[in-house]
Amino acid sequence: MGAWGSGPFDNDGAGDLIASIGHGDFTFESVEWAFEDDYLEVDGGQIAVALLELVLIVRADRKRDPAAQDLDLDSFTSALTSERLTWLIEMVERTISSTDSELFELWDEQGPEELASWRVPVVDGLEDLRVLSVQ
């Protein structure tokens, strides 16, 4: 049984991402496998949401979640090109889409309140990222 929660780091995909960053193994290329198909599987959605939160931590001075508290994000920050931000916007848009995302479908199955508890913060974060990407 995997980890499951509405927070950006409350799931297995995000946990794997955090571990990769913590071990110094993370590159954007290392997660591209999760976004290759037209239909976005759950891992891709979880990774996209976690990446969104990490970008907001380093670019918008968002308070760090305890899961990311001790991470050295210097190499992650240096990899954030404008192209990567544009790519991430597209991946988060796919994640919150009702037709292209397994993660959306799983939250939708839980009911409207649960879907909103997951989706509203992601949509808000996506809006913040859009602002950051044009600065």
| Amino acid, single-letter form, for residue 88 | L
Listed in sequence order, the residues at least 6 apart from 68 whose beta carbon sits closer than 8 Å to its beta carbon are 9, 18, 53, 54, 57
Per-residue DSSP letter, 35: G
pTM of the complete model beyond 0.85? yes
Per-residue pLDDT of the chain (135 residues; tens, 9 = 90+): 466 789 999 999 999 999 999 999 999 999 999 999 999 999 999 999 999 999 999 999 899 999 899 999 999 999 999 999 999 999 999 999 988 999 999 999 999 999 999 999 999 999 999 998 887
Listed in sequence order, the residues at least 6 apart from 27 whose beta carbon sits closer than 8 Å to its beta carbon are 79
Q: Which two tokens stand for residue 71?
A: 């991470």
